[in-house]
Amino acid sequence: MTHATDRFRRAGIAAFALTFLAGPALAEGEVNIYSYRQPDLIKPLLDAFTDQTGITTNVLFLNKGLEEKIEAEGVNSPADLIFTVDIGRLSNAKEKGITQPVSDEAINANIPGQYRDPDGHWFGLTTRGRVVYASKDRVGQDAITYEELADPKWKGRICIRSGQHAYNLALFASMIAHHGEDYTKTWLTGLKNNLARKPDGGDRTQAKAIYAGECDIGIGNTYYVGLMQTNEKEPEQKDWANAIKILFPNTEDRGTHVNISGMALAKHAPNKDNALKLMEFLASPQGQEIYAEQVFEYPIGPGTEPAAIVKAFGDIKPDPLPLDEIANNRKAASELVDTTGFQDGPAS
Amino acid sequence: MTVQTAPHDMIASAPVARRDRHLAALLPAIVIAALAVLPIAIVIGIALTGSGEDWPHLVNNVLPGAAATTLALLAMVAVGTASIGVTCAWLVVAYDFPMRRILAWALVLPLAVPPYLAAYAFGEFFLFTGPVQTALRALLGFQSARDYWFPDIRSTTGTAIVLSSVLFPYVYLTVRVVFLMQGRNIADVARTLGAAPVRVFFRILLPVARPAIIAGCALVLMETLNDIGAAEYLGVNTLTIAVFTTWLNRGSLEGAAQLSTVMLLLVLALLYAERMARRNQRFHGARATHMKARPPRVRMEGTQKWFATLAVLFPILSGFGIPAYVFCGYAIRRLEQLADPALQQAFVTTVFTAGCTALVTVAIALVLVNATRLSRTAAVGAVARLSASGYALPGTVLGLGLLFALTRLDNSVDAFARAHLGFSTGLLLSGTAAAVVIACTVRFLALAEGAIRAGLEKLPPHLDEAARSLGQTPTASARRVLFPLLKPALLTAAVLVFVDTMKELSATILLRPFGFSTLATHVYESASRGVVEDGAMAAILIILTALVPVVLLSRALMRDADATM
């Protein structure tokens, strides 16, 4: 290459860099993460990784269209890793062909086969149970099943967030996987008729509603209880958490429905080596411990203990249903929510 | 014979000559409009590639309910914003009552509150667990929700109330201008002829204000259609919600695009209705000299005047007071967040992005409005209207269309550079903040265009004609005569775009590059963890920052009006 073209090239690059202040360049020593998970939650984890390796991390938080964005960006996509908080999005990323398989002994040794893609396209990092929040005062029983939620004895006593939310869809999809669509439709109708009000808010909203006496049981993820118990800014939330007890459904039979938060390597990852290092770190006992402690979820690695607060919830027996069965039934679950008119709440 | 045909020939040949001269003005307008239409065209393109396999489910289980809910919501919000907007505008223009001057500009405050924050605040305030019902229970000794009845905010009506509370200023702003310019003159003429005040209002003032009401309502309805945050939070299943469940939960982007196209058709019908309503309805203001003769405001007496104060205060309290109260409560416990460099950076980014977008959008809208003024051909008008319809699409859907367009462009440029120049250009537009500015420009073009067009229509056409007969070209006439007179309209356009860009969330979050955070994305990140409280400081900053231009605008318009009294 001649001196002149080289100078032209450098000038061109400098001009573009100056004009657009583009995000991270393709330099060494970085990992770029497109994340459904809120950046503050993973910051301690990523900081620990940077301390150990000197590799810096950039997080871009997206709520909708993460897969479409990577797909559209194509070969120029800056994304190295994809973080999600639900199995549905992980399997969708694989289906769209925006991930690449990873076969790494260190990762596979730490993550049980049930919680990773058989082809290596995605890996679970933490699990969360979808449990029943029950009023300490008004609910006597200490065991429950998902099936039982359709029992008329709960009429006007159950609160839940939107049926179209990913967490509920995964639960309904697991019901389809276990019992078939017809049963689930009847069950969902029964659950709908037992609702105290239209589905609304987040999982925490349901605990607050129990505290206020609007309903007696709610459906929610385990970690929200930990977040409420430790909320120093809004100490009122500690009262919500104190008003409820956690019931792990179906402990007597198949176990409690769990969903995963997870990661996948982007197909055109520009910093693939660094990304693999981060994946190994996240799967390692050290990474697992920080992550589980921070988000009050269950670490996926069998050797790592959950946080003390999480242990105090009681023991969880996870439903061993393969996660891709849940992903495969998501669409059917979403359609059932429509056909049963679940979102309209109880018929008054 | 020849003598008679000569003028006829001149008339016939005039448009041809004019068309040539206008080409310079029309060409950029057509290019701009085409670019603005591109993301919409891509969404329609995706819809057309769909197999339609989702339609049986949509038609049987989703569409009837979603369409009915959406139409009911649109109707209620239209009636709500129109009645609040018109009543308040007429009260502050025609009557004198305590605190009138302050309230007249405070009526614009709800514009600073994003609908998703208003929905959250109303929920906190009025739900079973909120202060209102808790106080009610404590007062009356009720225990559970089954003991008493309270209207549920989580309903179509509740959502309509929330949206009307924050969107009515669009109607108030447009209608107040009309009333200021001529309402009282006409009303006084009618009254001296013996008409009763109520009769004057319905027979004279409403018809005069009709085009302005419809123009304001068109904006309100498009905002209602594109809303996702409020409807999602309040659990109302609108068409927009159906678009997202179809896309995200059933994995069908095509189905979602098809639903969006149905919504687009609805919008085009709305815009068409607006145009029909405005046709032949140009009320040119009596300018300065006549205004001096305007009679003083009617002074209200006794309880009547306090009733007027309350009537105007109520929508301000509901659209601004409640959200400000709820979020200030959280923000005060988090004052230390103000020292957070990330929040400060988000603030700077937000103001800078909104400023850039406002400038770019107003400039583009000016070019478009000028072109439609000059050409009046159906094609130019149609393209301009289609480009404005992007406002009614949910931000994420418009953002996706733009994402596909920009990445395709970027990747083509990059492939070319790699092949012929030996280096990679990467994602020049879609990988940078430029994407966010472009997205907001396309989204809010309708706002700027509407404001400028309304301003232009209020100017008497003889101004332009006079300048032209004095030998000015149409463009020179526009630049030297019309645009200076349009300053208030341009200011309105810029403020509306600035404020809406500040509040914009969905397109920003999809298109932003690494390290790009706005106040709105800050709020959303907290909300997505279920801790909206932690985003309260950012929410308050959005409201406070949006207040500055809104108040300036309101005061500028008032000064403009009062100076001529």
pLDDT (tens digit per residue) in A115-129: 999 999 999 999 999
> Using a CB-CB distance cutoff of 8 angstroms, which residues of chain B are in contact with residue A78?
427, 431, 514
B436/B244 Cα distance (integer angstroms): 21
B372/B29 Cα distance (integer angstroms): 9
Give which of B500, B483, B508 is closest to B169, Cα–Cα.
B500
Residue B4 has a pLDDT of 42
**Confidence bin at B133 (pLDDT 50/70/90):** confident
**A162 CB within 8 Å of a chain B CB:** yes
- Which neighbouring-strand residues pair with A218? A133, A159
| Interval B349-388: pLDDT, tens | 999 999 999 999 999 998 888 887 777 666 667 777 777 7
3-class secondary-structure state, position B208:
helix
**DSSP 8-state secondary structure symbol assigned to residue A116:** B
**DSSP 8-state secondary structure symbol assigned to residue A234:** S
Place of tokens 């049986």: B56
Of the candidate ranges A299-313, B411-425, B469-483, the one whose mean pLDDT is the lowest: B469-483
**Mean of the pLDDT values across residues B281-297?**
52
Residue B556 has a pLDDT of 76
**Mean of the pLDDT values across residues B209-217?**
85
Of residues A38, A78, A227, nearest to B431 (C-beta) = A78
Mean pLDDT of chain A: 89
End-to-end CA separation in angstroms for chain B: 55
Residue B13 has a pLDDT of 40
**A229 CB within 8 Å of a chain B CB:** no
Of residues B234, B396, B421, nearest to A64 (C-beta) = B396
Residue B63, CB half-sphere, CA atoms under 13 Å: how many? 14
Which of B144, B154, B532 to mutate to probe the A interface, most A CBs <10 Å?
Answer: B144
Spell out the residues 6+ positions from residue B252 whose beta carbon is closer than 8 angstroms to its own. B50, B53, B54, B246
Which of B250, B345, B397 to mutate to probe the A interface, most A CBs <10 Å?
Answer: B250
Provide the shortest C-alpha distance from residue B514 to chain A (in Å). 5
Provide the shortest C-alpha distance from residue A33 to chain B (in Å). 9
Tokens standing for B169?
């200023």
Provide the shortest C-alpha distance from residue B417 to chain A (in Å). 11
Residue B450 scores a pLDDT above 60: yes
As annotated, the residues of chain A forming the CATH 3.40.190.10 domain(s) are: 3-126+260-306, 128-257+315-344
Cα A329 off chain centre by: 17
In angstroms, what CA-CA distances link A260 with A113, A151, A335?
A: 13, 28, 22
Of residues A76, A197, A201, nearest to B427 (C-beta) = A76
Asked if A102 contacts A120 with a C-beta cutoff of 8 angstroms, the reply is yes
Spell out the residues 6+ positions from residue B149 whose beta carbon is closer than 8 angstroms to its own. none
Residue B284 has a pLDDT of 52
**Confidence bin at A12 (pLDDT 50/70/90):** very low
B477/B466 Cα distance (integer angstroms): 9
**Mean of the pLDDT values across residues A193-207?**
90
| Interval A143-161: pLDDT, tens | 999 999 999 999 999 999 9
CB–CB contact B434 A208 (8 Å) = no
Asked if A98 contacts A92 with a C-beta cutoff of 8 angstroms, the reply is no
Residue B504 scores a pLDDT above 70: yes
CB–CB contact A61 B414 (8 Å) = no
Residue B283 scores a pLDDT above 80: no
> Using a CB-CB distance cutoff of 8 angstroms, which residues of chain A are in contact with residue B251?
92, 95, 330-331
A112/B135 Cα distance (integer angstroms): 52
**B524 CB within 8 Å of a chain A CB:** yes
Spell out the residues 6+ positions from residue A146 whose beta carbon is closer than 8 angstroms to its own. A171, A175, A249, A250, A257
On the 0-12 / 13-18 / 19+ scale of CB atoms within 10 A, B8 is exposed
A107/A279 Cα distance (integer angstroms): 7
3-class secondary-structure state, position A20:
helix
B392/B220 Cα distance (integer angstroms): 10
Residue B32 has a pLDDT of 81
Residue B486 scores a pLDDT above 60: yes
Of residues A23, A38, A334, nearest to B249 (C-beta) = A334
| Interval A291-305: pLDDT, tens | 888 888 999 988 889
On the 0-12 / 13-18 / 19+ scale of CB atoms within 10 A, B20 is exposed
Of the candidate ranges A18-22, A300-304, B42-46, B461-465, the one whose mean pLDDT is the lowest: A18-22
Of residues B232, B251, B424, nearest to A92 (C-beta) = B251
3-class secondary-structure state, position A84:
strand
Question: In angstroms, what is the C-alpha Rg of chain A?
Answer: 22
**Mean of the pLDDT values across residues A7-11?**
50
**DSSP 8-state secondary structure symbol assigned to residue A342:** G
| Interval B76-121: pLDDT, tens | 999 999 999 999 998 988 888 888 888 988 898 898 899 989 998 9
CB–CB contact B514 A32 (8 Å) = yes
Q: So what's the architecture of B54-181+211-327 in CATH?
A: Orthogonal Bundle (1.10)
Residue B376 has a pLDDT of 65
* Beta strand A30-35 pairing with A81-84: parallel
| Interval B451-470: pLDDT, tens | 888 778 777 777 777 877 88
A345/A200 Cα distance (integer angstroms): 10
Place of tokens 């459906």: A219
Residue A19 has a pLDDT of 39
- Does domain B24-39+347-518 fall under CATH 3.30.70.2190? My reply is no
> Using a CB-CB distance cutoff of 8 angstroms, which residues of chain A are in contact with residue B404?
72
Q: Which three-class secondary structure string do you get for B133-187? A: HHHHHHHHCCCCHHHCCCCCCCCHHHHHHHHHHHHHHHHHHHHHHHHHHHHHHHH
B404/B511 Cα distance (integer angstroms): 11
The annotation places the binding site of A for Fe cation at: 223-224
Tokens standing for B184?
């009282």
Long-range contacts of A39-48 (CB under 8 A, 24+ apart): A39/B525, A40/B525, A40/B529, A41/A294, A41/A295, A41/B529, A42/A83, A42/A291, A42/A294, A44/A290, A44/A294, A45/A282, A45/A287, A45/A290, A45/A291, A45/A294, A48/A281, A48/A286, A48/A287, A48/A290
B391/B9 Cα distance (integer angstroms): 44
Nearest residue in chain B measured CA to CA from A92: B251
Residue B9 scores a pLDDT above 50: no
**B135 CB within 8 Å of a chain A CB:** no
Residue A24 has a pLDDT of 43
Q: Which three-class secondary structure string do you get for B446-464? A: HHHHHHHHHHHHHCCHHHH
* CATH superfamily of domain region A3-126+260-306: Periplasmic binding protein-like II (3.40.190.10)
Q: Which of residues 103-122 of A touch B (CB under 8 A)?
A: none
Of residues B237, B251, B399, nearest to A343 (C-beta) = B237
Give which of A80, A45, A29 is closest to A283, Cα–Cα.
A45
- Cα dihedral A9, A10, A12, A13, rounded to 10, equals 120
Pairwise pLDDT comparison (B228 vs A217), residue with the higher score: A217
B85/B449 Cα distance (integer angstroms): 21
Residue B145 has a pLDDT of 67
* Beta strand B95-96 pairing with A81-84: unpaired
3-class secondary-structure state, position A266:
strand
Residues of chain A with pLDDT > 70: what percent?
Answer: 92
Tokens standing for B172?
């108030």
B173/B214 Cα distance (integer angstroms): 12
Provide the shortest C-alpha distance from residue B235 to chain A (in Å). 6
**Mean of the pLDDT values across residues B273-293?**
56
| Interval A336-345: pLDDT, tens | 999 999 988 8
- Which neighbouring-strand residues pair with A83? A35, A263
Residue B25 has a pLDDT of 67
**Residue A300: count of CB within 10 angstroms of its CB:** 26
Q: Do B54-181+211-327 and B24-39+347-518 have the same topology in CATH?
A: yes
A203/B245 Cα distance (integer angstroms): 19
Residue B174 has a pLDDT of 84
CB–CB contact A92 B129 (8 Å) = no
A82/A79 Cα distance (integer angstroms): 7
B12/A343 Cα distance (integer angstroms): 63
**DSSP 8-state secondary structure symbol assigned to residue A307:** P
| Interval A43-66: pLDDT, tens | 889 999 999 999 999 999 988 889
Residue A168 has a pLDDT of 95
Residue A16 has a pLDDT of 42
CB–CB contact B403 A335 (8 Å) = no
Mean pLDDT of chain B: 82
Give the highest mean pLDDT range of A282-286, B302-306, B428-432.
Answer: A282-286
Q: What are the residue boundaries of the structural domains of chain B, listed by start?
A: 24-39+347-518, 54-181+211-327
Nearest residue in chain B measured CA to CA from A169: B249
Determine the topology of domain A128-257+315-344 in CATH.
D-Maltodextrin-Binding Protein; domain 2 (3.40.190)
Tokens standing for A288?
């697992």
> Using a CB-CB distance cutoff of 8 angstroms, which residues of chain A are in contact with residue B143?
213
Of the candidate ranges A16-25, A334-343, B243-252, the one whose mean pLDDT is the lowest: A16-25
Long-range contacts of B246-250 (CB under 8 A, 24+ apart): B246/B54, B246/B58, B246/B62, B247/A64, B248/A64, B249/A88, B249/A164, B249/A166, B249/A169, B249/A330, B249/A331, B249/A334, B250/A330, B250/A331, B250/A334, B250/A335, B250/B54
**Mean of the pLDDT values across residues B117-127?**
88
Residue B564 scores a pLDDT above 50: no
**Mean of the pLDDT values across residues A110-117?**
92
End-to-end CA separation in angstroms for chain A: 78
ipTM of the complex: 0.82
Pairwise pLDDT comparison (B125 vs A247), residue with the higher score: A247
**B427 CB within 8 Å of a chain A CB:** yes
Residues of chain B with pLDDT > 70: what percent?
Answer: 88
**Confidence bin at B290 (pLDDT 50/70/90):** very low
Residue B123 scores a pLDDT above 80: yes
3-class secondary-structure state, position A130:
strand
**Confidence bin at B396 (pLDDT 50/70/90):** confident
